[in-house]
Amino acid sequence: MVKDDEGITIAAGVDTTPDKFINDYLVYPTLNAVNEKTDVIVDFSNPKGLPILLAYGMENRIPMVICTTGHSPEDKENIKSASEKVAILTSANMSLGVNLLLSLVKQAAKALEENFDIEIIEKHHNQKMDSPSGTALAIADSINSALKEKKEYVYGRHSKTGKRTFQELGIHAIRGGNIVGDHSVIFAGAGEVIEINHSALSRDVFAVGAIRAVKFLYDKDPGLYNMSDVVSNATA
């Protein structure tokens, strides 16, 4: 997709198995081996690589678009701390549609809070490492931010034998095949059900969002940004 965009070029790549790639740019085994001048780093990798990523970005003053999910609370604090020295954009999901969904579920939760149970179901491919997905957690957080009384996150119910309480917000993960990413938010009331769904049919949607994020971030001052800032900037 970058090849079709005159405003951006991939300088280099980093992967633990660089020899398996055939590209028109070099792929290095470690970030510290990269010699090319770069304006922004895009991270779709693994939380274990975060310390090296943050150290490299801060040392070289290179903004970072961090798309990896599964970060611990400590990881998130480290990202926040690093953003005081260099611009960082984080997002649980780079899809523009998902970021619109976050706004829609917040609006629905506020309107339906008193009478509807809320459940989240996410589906991903069988190679995904973290569960539930970062996007599912972002959806739950968006819902909770709109509620007068915060919900308790309940991850599946395999060990529960009692009735569902109204304070629960159920989050369920499904893994199988090559599902790119499906998220459903169910508002279940007495006699009616409302669902808000998003399905990623191709990983291209994440590339589109990542490219938009790179263009947004490359000249930004230090700070912590997210995809809402990207979407707002595009419509301003």
Name the residues annotated as catalytic: 124, 128
Is 16 annotated among the ligand-binding residues? no
Is 67 annotated among the ligand-binding residues? yes
Is 135 annotated among the ligand-binding residues? yes
CA 39/CA 215 separation, integer angstroms: 10
| Residue recorded with tokens 């970062």 | 134
CB 129 within 8 Å of CB 70: yes
Is 68 annotated among the ligand-binding residues? yes
Torsion of CA 217, 218, 219, 223, to 10 degrees: 40
Q: Which one, of 98, 110, 108, lies nearest residue 194 by Cα?
A: 108
158: DSSP letter: T
Please count the helices (runs of H) and the strands (runs of E) in the chain: 6, 11
Is 99 annotated among the ligand-binding residues? no
Task: Give the SS3 label for residue 65.
Answer: strand
Is 94 annotated among the ligand-binding residues? yes
Is 69 annotated among the ligand-binding residues? yes
Is 12 annotated among the ligand-binding residues? no
Known binding-site residues for (S)-2,3,4,5-tetrahydrodipicolinate equal 125, 134-135
Known binding-site residues for NADP(+) equal 37
Known binding-site residues equal 36-37, 67-69, 91-94, 125, 134-135
